[in-house]
Structure 1
């Protein structure tokens, strides 16, 4: 039998550090939380509003219980304070809201989403957060294509929410239009092509970043990117296409910034970035007739200009504090029921973050939201372009993982013009998650929270993406 020498030259071999079952379950729970945010209205379409509400409230309760049990390291002085100020102002709007019940219900949704975002950011490291986001997006994409295949192969007819096969008065009412094999727009499990498109774009970004970070099973990541690209094309969302152009512009600029060696070299890139960004935005607006016609949309952004006029007219009646928080609008509330009709359905948002905030929280809300987004863009930008440094060493390599928060910001800023997505669901989730995490851990793998979690999860020996 082999016997170790009494005078070994090195330590005896040991098994690699493995994650504990408890942590694997915790990460699985975080993935479920992210899937719920990314899937949008899937729970509502499948099981109804009551079941979706129960799932949201119960999941938030479980996350709070886990947070209290785990007690992750949190620097409470380093919270995203502009976000907290906006949330506080939204809560205060209960005192003057013209639709108090809607305000109370939607505030609960806002607080649940914020809590879940902080929870995921507090209990996972940067690497695990991006890994979990990728896993959650895989679930959403896989379920979307499986759902569309099931409808086309077995149902062979459009279906309404609740798995009801019945002819609708307008195609907008369908959960799935059975378009997978006829070349039409597909909607995925969220039942809306304008929700599926940005999620597919986000998935392409996340998978590409993980591929660049040399994550395990890179060939499989290429397959997932191909599926995401397919769903992105088939969703044919105009705002998602414009957001993709914004992502490319920001990515190119960040990579150029990383190549600079002197502070003054960045100035020319900032000027060029501003010129291209402002010029591109102006050209897009002036050429919107041709561009949106080519994308199969009207020059008025599929009726959005009419919606904005109606919303702004009401918002101007209470310009300072607004009418009260309501994201999304409750279609059963008398204040919204039948107010703005599109394709026979009551509209549930202003289709613009800025118009929505002005209606709900007035000029004060607009200022707070502007500061929130400015702080997010500022921190994520320098998180991406600055070389990681916390001591005298100035030659540490850049990490591809630091690109994700700023590219997410690009997607949400573009969407904020024609959608209210950054105010709810995955948009608000990622704004809060990355905003919280950057404040707590401004360097990947460095700092009290990151190091403690890395030790607990065995990441000190496996720095994968």
Structure 2
């Protein structure tokens, strides 16, 4: 017989499940790796070549020390590795056999290998939600430190600053400066460099920050108003960087976002086909408009027909690349400025240029047609998977009406920004750009589905 009691039939209250300290430390280390990759030039300007090399070696060793035991315990799905990206890395190493600058090839290949290892590591040990949060924190560090650094140079130091905190002599070329201290010159005044020491690099990092911060905001995180503040800070840095390349990357990412949202409204294959035809027609019309208004657009951006001297760089690189069109002249990303092959070869404002300002031309120059095909394969595979990752509903059973996850748009936005940047910069095939390419390529193969909860894996499926 039932009796009245004050004892509840529910389970006794308990504290919510918490993550292990080890995994929290892993995420903190992942943030440090991403900050170090995105702001690599800040470490170089702060520590010099030797200090930056030591930091690179230490982080790579620590990553392997963490990752190898985890692979031994949990295994690694080898078939899911981004094999085209690994083939590009292998071809870059093989090019040392015929390289015109073998020392530079081996030196810069270690950078490429380290960037590849970090990308594979992050994709393997983090979930999609954790990747988003780690990128969010890393870019907040870069944006916040950049703003604080520029404010310190402008308000406290009140003079330009050279790398390693050296004082510039009178009449020194401003292109060598780490920061020119011009943050408060005007609302839209002279370009600033941020802690990374380069306006174009700061601009493209702002584009990535826009994408990451907006996606993170869409997941309804704690303290959402602060996320809006960070978007505002990023907007200030983006405007003051004055980078036309970053503006093009922002437009490309925004158009991809619109296309994803439009495609998500398609309910049948026929509707998708009509939308694809609409995209193709809009793309052709846009290309015609850009062609007709090209000169006017350059005037609005304050650029000339040479794209700030890039046409001369492209012509010079092409002339040398055409000498070895199949296998290339030998890998070196970036170009090592003290190597005789590059020292004084192409000089801009007294500085030896260290890349071709176009990732496709750079790949052709270094690794020939084979290298271009490998890079093309890497980006086609990445763009294909990223697109359908974003436009297809998450489905692992008969339920076809699950809501889309905001995290699913991150990969196509980053891919679009990198492809746009690659038209005038070589960043997408080296250093942090390559790390993101490897990370996304591997993660899209490891976890091609993301549920409503961006941190949770589908039932019956592994979390990573």
Q: TM-score range by the shorter chain?
A: over 0.9
Alpha-carbon shift at residue 34 of structure 1 (Å) = 0.3
Indicate yes or no: 2:135 matched with 1:129.
Answer: no
Pairing partner for 1:177 from 158, 180, 184: 180
Worse overlay, 428-437 or 291-300 = 291-300
Q: What is the CA-CA distance between 1:376 and the residue it aligns to?
A: 0.4
The answer to whether the 8 Å contact 2:127/2:463 transfers is no
Q: Distance in 2 between matches of 1:337 and 1:244?
A: 33
What's the CA shift string for 1:136-155, capped at 9, x where partnerless?
00000011001101101111
Provide the rounded CA distance (Å) in 1 between the counterparts of 2:15 and 2:348.
62
CA distance in 2, matches of 1:96, 1:287: 44
Residue in 2 that maps onto 1:209: 215
Residue 449 of structure 1 deviates from its aligned partner by 11
Deviation at 1:402, TM superposition (A): 0.4
Residue among 310, 327, 336 paired with 2:333: 327
| 1:441 and 1:449 in contact (8 A); partners too | no
Contact 1:40/1:190 (CA < 8 Å) preserved in 2?
yes
Larger mean CA deviation between 51-60 and 8-17 belongs to 8-17
Q: TM-score, normalised by structure 2?
A: 0.94
Contact 1:73 1:448 (8 Å CA) reproduced: no
Question: What whole-Å deviation, never above 9, does each CA across 1:222-281 have from its counterpart, x for those lacking one?
Answer: 000000011001101001111111111111110010111101111222122223334334
- Counterpart of 1:459? none
Contact 2:321 2:329 (C-alpha < 8 Å) held by counterparts: yes
- Residue aligned with 1:74, SS: coil
Is the alpha carbon distance of 1:107 and 1:448 closer, same or farther for their aligned partners in structure 2, counting shifts above 3 Å?
farther
Q: Whole-Å Cα distance in 2 between the matches of residues 237 and 263 of structure 1?
A: 40
Deviations 1:308-331 (A, max 9, x none): 000000000000000011100000
Distance in 2, matches of 1:234 and 1:369, equals 32
Contact 1:125 1:450 in 2 (8 A): no
Check whether the contact 2:84–2:378 (CA below 8 A) recurs between aligned residues: yes
For 1:285-313, what per-residue CA distance to the aligned partner results, in whole angstroms no more than 9, with x for missing partners? Answer: 44332212211222211100100000000
Corresponding residue for residue 457 of structure 2: 446
Q: Distance in 1 between matches of 2:284 and 2:414?
A: 19
Distance 1:448 1:189, change over 3 A: farther
Measure, in 1, the Cα distance between the counterparts of 2:7 and 2:163: 71
Q: For residues 51 and 449 of structure 1, do their structure 2 counterparts lie closer, same or farther at Cα, with a shift above 3 Å needed? A: farther
TM-superposed deviation, 1:426? 2.1
Other-structure match for 1:29: 29
CA-CA distance at 1:8 after TM superposition: 4.9
Which residue in the other structure is 2:40 paired with? 40
Match of 1:10 in 2: 10
Aligned to 2:141: 139
Q: What residue is the counterpart of 2:453 in the other structure?
A: none
Q: TM-score, normalised by structure 1?
A: 0.93
- Listed as ranges, the matches of 1:259-298 within 5 Å are 259-298=265-304
Question: What's the counterpart of residue 83 of structure 2?
Answer: 81
What is the aligned partner in structure 1 of residue 234 from structure 2? 228
Q: 1:426 aligns with which of 413, 425, 432?
A: 432
Query: CA offsets per residue over residues 417-437 of structure 1, 9 Å max, x none?
Result: 111010122211111101111
| d(CA) in 2 for partners of 1:198, 1:30 | 21
Structure 1 CA distance, aligned partners of 2:335 and 2:463?
Answer: 42
Q: List runs of 5+ in structure 1 lacking aligned partners.
A: 454-465
- Farther off after superposition, 265-274 or 242-251: 265-274
Match of 1:111 in 2: 113
Q: Is the 8 A contact 2:457 2:463 kept in 1?
A: no
Task: Give per-residue Cα distances to partners, 1:142-179, cap 9 Å, x unaligned.
Answer: 11001101101111011111111214532111110111
Please state whether the residue corresponding to 2:78 is helix, strand or coil.
Answer: coil
Q: Pairwise CA RMSD of aligned residues?
A: 1.7
